[in-house]
């Protein structure tokens, strides 16, 4: 099981070839509602065509989307506060993404932001 971060999702939707090995693997692929939000917000900001928007949203139907729930909020807050105390603060979205992943038993996040996720205990940041 691997969780796809926003950077990976954007690259998939932009047709980047470096995403193909992970997409073609037989591993269950997940993302979070938060990552989906970031991608869709970016599409609205760029004013993409209705066709591209529909195609992109359809991609989300092909992977598992994990919600932000009470357990993941608690875990995310723990992650964030620990990193702040250590002087290694990262964005709230990254902490929430990691918290959701960890509470669902996912320890690998596929991202171009490995520097951020590698600070989180229990998370393996996989660059592509």
Dump pLDDT digits (tens) for 11-52: 999 999 999 999 999 999 999 999 999 999 999 999 988 888
> In this predicted structure, what is the pLDDT of residue 49?
86
pTM of the entire predicted model: 0.92
Q: Determine the 3-state secondary structure of 64 from DSSP.
A: strand
In the chain the domains, ranked by start, together with CATH numbers, are 2-126 (3.40.50.1010)
> In this predicted structure, what is the pLDDT of residue 56?
85
Task: Give me the percent of the chain exceeding a pLDDT of 70.
Answer: 100
Helix H segments across the chain? 6-13, 20-23, 33-46, 50-60, 70-85, 92-103, 114-117
Residue 58 CA to residue 43 CA, distance in Å, equals 14
CA-atom Rg of the chain in angstroms = 14
> In this predicted structure, what is the pLDDT of residue 77?
98
């Amino acid at each position: 099981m691997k969780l796809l971060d926003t950077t990976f999702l954007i690259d998939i939707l932009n047709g980047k070839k470096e995403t193909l090995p992970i997409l073609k693997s037989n591993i269950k692929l997940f993302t979070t509602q938060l990552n989906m939000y970031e991608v869709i917000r970016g599409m609205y900001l760029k004013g993409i065509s209705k066709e591209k928007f529909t195609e992109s949203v359809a991609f989300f139907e092909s992977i598992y989307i994990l919600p932000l729930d009470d357990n993941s909020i608690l875990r995310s807050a723990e992650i964030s506060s620990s990193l702040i105390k250590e002087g290694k603060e990262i964005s709230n979205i990254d902490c929430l993404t990691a918290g959701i992943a960890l509470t669902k038993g996912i320890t690998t996040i596929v991202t171009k932001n490995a520097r951020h996720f590698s600070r989180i205990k229990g998370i393996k940041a996989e660059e592509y």
